[in-house]
Chains A and B, each alone.
Chain A
């Protein structure tokens, strides 16, 4: 196979025996297992990976991991595509398809590139100032297309995501030297330890820093530690796992990825880790240097260049100039030179870098101390860099002592920013450390420690000892008592840094602060000139530090520049708030298994398969999968529902009422308790009888309705609406436990323990008498609104003479497991009688024509019992009940309250639309006096019927009104809501 010119002949932790073919922007390339997409593209000589957000300037790779601001790609196609990934974090896989974003047709040749000519016209706040007339929404679609990132998947994600809960003693985040040392100490001490790292391999920077630990190559040490941790029964090692959020009470959220391989059982996994102690060994991120044209492809973080050369055996350039304000920047020169990358010069912005420069000069490097970069030559790739002594640069437009250095790679090292994101999310306080030119962790929340470079300890020696000590301390705090042994050690290093927030302004050239959002130093200057003082405001005005990289390489520079501009010390400027996620997380991971049918699993009644067999059309009613109606051969939906209604009025019908709430209330004080819960009296209910009742909130508003059955002196069965069972039962518990603990009452929700079949119709008794039962069905012995416990077909049953249709009806409760057999027997025996199952649709029409209200449909969040005609029942009751005092307010007694009435369209064929308003002034179509709540065609009455809530409606029966909806008016009359069988003769049959 042909070796790419940019790939080193040997070395690197890539598997040269496993070549992988992939595509970027439609072109085919080859890389190796162990590559990232970024390293593979660099190895193939691809330098332009994206276009900048606003101005579409060509952009290359700056970093090597999550800090990358430029190389944003879209992976895959169709339903499984993932937008806005950083190429530096994408593991190369066979047949990987990647595309650049925010450009068309490709990053190489982008038609929007002309936008960069308008750069001077697009300063900070450009959108706010420009697109405000007539309205932002007028411009939004175009702007979004020109300045955007990836695209959403085309359909529902077919992949599987999981979530797991984990409890541990010590969670160590980050498996660099500090994290490995911490995990080692905690595990050896005997603590249950979880170590999580977002990279595919452990070791962090040890993968490319070529250092020694305990006097042997660092990677050997990493391998040993990994082996020990993986073998330990009290440790769990998670790679490819990003800790992205710290939440209250030591909850840390992790996102585990399973790579881009095709055969994966799950794609990503969300971990909820509850850790007693957390050690944050999250490392530090190198900063970009701010100087003119520092965004040209070929300008790269020194640590990234080193990472590519050592770990991936990729030459990011042939001739490099290293620009640094730190000692650690020099290390890159030492790694690059032996790999065939010529070091043209080391440019140190410090006047006197001291020993580190002397040593570099001894090693043969050309060191230019006290120089600053003033421009970069080249637009699509670096060709050269101009540097100048700092004193000259301070004189604007001076070309004195200008030095041009030919190169194709500029390595920059602007110091290190500890990754304190998680620490800060956990409410840890940050402290500005002037010596390190960075915010470091200050006083922390209980149980949180930062270790290693996350704590500002940038040398390996301190990372190891600091990490080990943190792990030991954390384990001890959880009670672990074993001996952790001694800490690994490494040689001392120099890590001095002098802050260099930006090269002095020299000419008109743009110096880029935030590459991802195209924010320049001039934008920050504008924000300061316009008197934006709070760093939070500056962030939002200029967009610095936003989007997928969240300013990991740029925030600190922005703060330093702001500090200079506003003459305010950095600690007083402070940082913007760190919020989760640390790194973007897919929605699939956050949703985990809670999607599709598992999002909110529908509850099924014991008759679910019977309904299916009978051709039911199911719908979701209050979380239950219920039969809306039953299909019949060759009949339309309307015809089916009409036939069901005819069966109920003319013969006999069966309805599955199993979801009806059933709460058993027992105890010596059961009657007293229920008397307080219902607004009408329940104390006076005789044993064996049933009463319709209404429950209120303390605001007096109707909460629920249903029948209450008294089975014994101290035993009631409360029936609630299907959607109200859980709510009402929870309310019972709250009142009993919190307000009236003296009442000797036990309430139990038995909704799912009992099935419920309602037999309704003039032939209901006839059907029931075809079954064997010891209950006397004679109307004199078993009148309307009574309940009998007995046996039906030799099965214990509770039979009540109640219903929701207005016909002679029996509601039968049997144990859930017997319900299906009973249903089938009733259908079989009832066939000669014309029995028919009816669904919710038919039932709704039957109850509407009977004038039975449905709570939540015919009542709203203001309806009081007096508004629906319960005034008399209330007046008879002397005791207190929930909501009673609220009914005494003046508001509750206003005569013009919305009250339940019937609404009769003058044209008996007009079905008044639900939601249509009763208008006070039909000519102007103004002034709502109420609205239609239920409406249907009544099969029994041969005309349409409707219910509604109308101002003062109960005293307006007979009045003519106009109903208005969507530009149409209908004449109608207010009538009694009892349309069908107002005397209740059929009910009492």
Chain B
């Protein structure tokens, strides 16, 4: 079970959080200017890397704030967490 350090509340157990997928995912728009493939890319296509990934989680049973987590999908190590208002942490393999 992961232990995630909420930037607002401190380290908490995984069941307090909900996973929200990889970031960044940019929502394309306006709708009339978006091609079908660009829209499908936004909806369905993710990198899903083996190794370091930036993702967003929400501290659902806590402060209810969304946060950024830099997690290794192989070892489950968490290298950093950040508020959404902070610059997105860099990932280097």
Contacts and interface: CB of A to CB of B under 8 A. Distances in A.
B29 A880 contact: yes
Contacts of B85: 741
Given A427-B75, A737-B65, A880-B31, A885 B3 contact: no
Contacts of A427: 75
Contacts of A741: 84-85
B1 A251 contact: yes
A959 interface: no
A867 B32 CA distance: 21
Contact of A739 (B1, B13, B27): B27
Contacts of A249: 1-3, 76, 78
A699 B36 CA distance: 12
A886 interface: yes
A734 B43 contact: no
B3 A274 contact: yes
A248 B39 contact: no
B39 A738 contact: no
A884 B29 CA distance: 10
B60 interface: yes
A730 interface: yes
B2 A248 contact: yes
A741 B56 CA distance: 15
Interface in B13-43: 13, 18, 20, 27-32, 34, 36, 39, 43
A446 B16 CA distance: 24
Given A698-B43, A737-B66, A738-B84, A730 B60 contact: yes
Interface in A839-890: 880, 884-886, 888-889
Interface in B64-90: 64-66, 75-76, 78, 84-85
B58 A884 contact: no
Contacts of A274: 3, 13
B31 A888 contact: yes
A25 interface: no
B30 A880 contact: yes
Nearest to A445: B75
A738 B76 contact: no
A249 B13 CA distance: 10
Nearest to A739: B27
Contacts of A734: 20, 58, 66
B35 to A, nearest CB: 10
A247 B3 CA distance: 11
A733 interface: yes
A733 B64 contact: yes
B85 to A, nearest CB: 8
Contacts of A699: 43
A165 B12 CA distance: 12
Contacts of A884: 31
Interface in A873-923: 880, 884-886, 888-889
B89 to A, nearest CB: 16
A885 B58 contact: no
Contact of A889 (B28, B30, B36): B36
Contacts of B84: 737-738, 741
Interface in A716-743: 730, 733-734, 737-739, 741
A853 to B, nearest CB: 25
B66 A738 contact: yes
Interface string B36-68: 100100010000000000001010100011100
Nearest to B35: A885
A247 B15 CA distance: 14
B43 A738 contact: no
Interface string A267-290: 000001010000000000000000
A885 B76 contact: no
Nearest to A251: B1
Nearest to A890: B36
Interface string A732-768: 0110011101000000000000000000000000000
B39 A885 contact: yes
Contacts of A698: 43
Nearest to B18: A730
Contacts of A886: 39, 43
Contacts of B2: 248-249
A173 B18 CA distance: 31
A247 B1 contact: yes
A557 B87 CA distance: 56
A147 B93 CA distance: 51
Contacts of A272: 1
Interface in A592-612: none
Interface in A696-710: 698-699
A272 B64 CA distance: 24
Contacts of B20: 734, 738
Contact of B76 (A248, A739, A880, A889): A248
A698 B29 CA distance: 13
Nearest to B84: A737
Contact of B31 (A250, A738, A739, A885): A885
A888 B13 CA distance: 42
Contacts of B78: 249
Given A249-B3, A737-B65, A885-B39, A730 B58 contact: yes
A629 to B, nearest CB: 35
Contacts of B1: 247-249, 251, 272
A248 B60 CA distance: 20
A593 to B, nearest CB: 15
A673 to B, nearest CB: 15
A733 B3 CA distance: 23
Interface in A167-197: none
Contacts of A889: 36, 39
Contacts of B13: 165, 274
Nearest to A891: B36
A185 to B, nearest CB: 26
A872 B11 CA distance: 50
A91 to B, nearest CB: 31
A701 to B, nearest CB: 12
Nearest to A427: B75
Contacts of A888: 31-32
A57 B84 CA distance: 66
B10 to A, nearest CB: 12
Interface of B: 1-3, 13, 18, 20, 27-32, 34, 36, 39, 43, 56, 58, 60, 64-66, 75-76, 78, 84-85
29 contacts: A248-B1, A248-B2, A248-B76, A249-B3, A249-B76, A249-B78, A250-B3, A251-B1, A251-B3, A274-B13, A698-B43, A699-B43, A733-B64, A733-B66, A734-B20, A734-B58, A734-B66, A738-B20, A738-B56, A739-B27, A741-B84, A741-B85, A880-B29, A885-B31, A885-B34, A885-B39, A888-B31, A888-B32, A889-B36
Interface of A: 165, 247-251, 272, 274, 427, 698-699, 730, 733-734, 737-739, 741, 880, 884-886, 888-889
7 smallest A-B Cβ distances: which pairs?
A885-B31, A249-B3, A737-B66, A248-B76, A251-B1, A884-B31, A885-B39
Given A738-B84, A884-B31, 8 more contacts: A248-B1, A249-B1, A274-B13, A698-B43, A738-B20, A738-B56, A741-B84, A880-B29
